[in-house]
Structure 1
């Protein structure tokens, strides 16, 4: 089994034949292992999911088998797959029915219920690295509360194989859904810096998962048309619309950024991308008068633009402002550049439920995080490898994360919502 299944020259047909041989010998354990190898190497092929479903059924895991066969049917519907769907449902359903078509309908209905329960909004940090110098972001090189050496050395890019394994786990356990979920490939980092960015997009595309990302556009990416089919939205993050604003925040060449945005929009549209582009314009005290020029730039390119308050990004950074522990120098800088007059007047509704409970946030180590605001180096920053968790375990860990109580007590959990509700109008 080891020698025959692990060779780099092993084909899809080789593994299918190996699986069938194991079944003929009633060796269900090795048959199940063969199905795992199939899925690891050929997750974009419907036959791999079909074989996996059979293996799961034979090893008494009918619910997982049902999700696997549903995925196979989504990739390519065959009569054999529909028959397997009905067969699995007969195991799961407490009422024995001989009507195969009815079993298929009931099984598919169950699968759609699983889709509805999956996380819709997913933030998967593929790059723990960012090349911008934003002073109000915990990743920024010039962060006003500083950065420690341990924090910097812990940063990395997500491993491609582990990313693929994690995405497969999320799909097969109904944690995310092909039909309902959108995976955003960022949290604190710059995704386009990942050396194998296109491979990550291929994995999502092959699995039928829609995705999006936000970029500072310091790196111009040319992507193959095949990986653009599932791209949902691209957001260009801009800290203003002048050389002065860029020197203050991102530290990039403003004219080069404009050219990169223009080139990326034109290149990807020519490659067949039909999704949306939008500029997320972060409004500071010093760039309010640049909003109109930015809106004109977006209009000329035929892309969207939204204006939102720049804010303090990061749990400790924001908390230091709310509990009055921010240093005098940091507070002075913050008050002179951010629009902060309303911060202390934000009132959290008594019955408010934090939006983050409905978001799935994963770091570049493929670990579950309580929310998108926690910072590296904080105790219990990570809740563990998400590939070792069920949907129920994930929800339980998020609901019981230690930071949530304090965050709610001082109104930080509502702050992000309040910021968004104060978004500037369109020009």
Structure 2
């Protein structure tokens, strides 16, 4: 279970809805009494873990420590994620001994960090990280502290520095490619909606996985894949409403009922039957954006991101400018120029995979794997 216990954030990150979308959600702090009832119901329904974040900054809540203690007292796992620019309630949270404390950041130096975490100060974050380490040591806390580094195509050189800094403090260091959120924003980009702003386009230039046509062409092949974000995750807003999924930002429109008013089975069923939710899920799946959200660091999506980063670094070294939507597409054959017959003729293993039902066509294999493997026989590359 993920709960936004507040309706605000102290930063305005451009790849996050708190920085790129109008906030029409509830903008209040959840009351302890409501939260206690939610935890009691969650425990009775078999929920084992409660994380106090989705879109917002949990350290804003003055009673964050009490919230963590309530979860722990119920015998459930507790966790928070923070940009760690706020020190005021950090100690309260840490001394409550959460099971998991994630620090979310995107650079080692301020010049880089401020682009992804607008309004933040990486030197403040580093000092607060040191303080977290001290608190853990002084009080013998068991909290797993994880530093999560958001990868952009232009911050990779600083990743190693932040990894070393984090691991010296005894923190676990993990990484992941940033994606454009929320779902509504990714859909606007995919569907050429005029609401996409110039600021959004500048952010897209920094992403290793912008939802451009080439990426959508890849993830649309997974349109029928089930969505664990909707089916397996329970997301509540600060007013106790159950939200369709964690990628949705308009929590007012895409909520299926108050968690305390309906049994879990009914809330889960409403996600798949309530008309506006069904319509949104269909739009999402049609564009493959559920896969974009679920697996940005795996398989073909990871390879796609690496390809863009390598291309960016190569052009940076050479001093040759390139449009962001062409990064990572060097040598790619378009759908119009793809030679299906030739591709199958020279790739026996692909023919065998299609015969075995692993792929529906040579083009599907090319989009997902072949173009990244440098396969022969795909046709003639035609530069845009």
> Normalization by structure 2: what TM-score?
0.70
Unaligned runs of 5+ in 1: 1-121
Match of residue 147 from structure 1: 22
User: Are 2:178 and 2:209, in contact at CA under 8 Å, matched by a contact in 1?
Assistant: no
Q: Distance in 1 between matches of 2:227 and 2:171?
A: 31
SS of corresponding position for 1:388: coil
Aligned pairs for 1:18-417 (under 5 A) are 122-140=1-19, 143=20, 146-147=21-22, 151=24, 154-172=26-44, 174-176=45-47, 181-220=48-87, 221-223=90-92, 227-228=96-97, 231-250=98-117, 251-325=119-193, 327=196, 329-330=198-199, 332-340=201-209, 343-347=215-219, 348-349=221-222, 351-356=224-229, 357-376=231-250, 379=253, 381-400=254-273, 401-402=277-278, 403-417=280-294
Q: Distance in 1 between matches of 2:72 and 2:164?
A: 33
User: Are 1:346 and 1:418, in contact at CA under 8 Å, matched by a contact in 2?
Assistant: no
Structure 1 position 162, deviation (Å): 0.8
Q: Distance in 1 between matches of 2:147 and 2:168?
A: 13
Query: Closer, same or farther in 2 for the Cα pair 1:411/1:391, shift >3 Å?
Result: same
Q: Distance in 1 between matches of 2:164 and 2:54?
A: 28
Structure 1 position 378, deviation (Å): 5.7
Q: Distance in 1 between matches of 2:146 and 2:223?
A: 34
Unaligned runs of 5+ in 2: 307-384
How many pairs were matched up?
A: 289
Query: Closer, same or farther in 2 for the Cα pair 1:139/1:226, shift >3 Å?
Result: closer
Using CA pairs under 8 Å that are at least 6 residues apart, name the structure with larger relative contact order, 1 or 2: 2
Q: Distance in 2 between matches of 1:205 and 1:418?
A: 30
C-alpha deviations, 1:207-266, integer Å up to 9, x for none? Answer: 1111111111112311388731xx221110002111112322322222111010111122
RMSD: 2.2
SS of corresponding position for 1:286: coil
Match of residue 341 from structure 2: none
User: Are 1:225 and 1:271, in contact at CA under 8 Å, matched by a contact in 2?
Assistant: no
> Normalization by structure 1: what TM-score?
0.63
Match of residue 356 from structure 2: none
Larger Rg: 1 or 2? 1
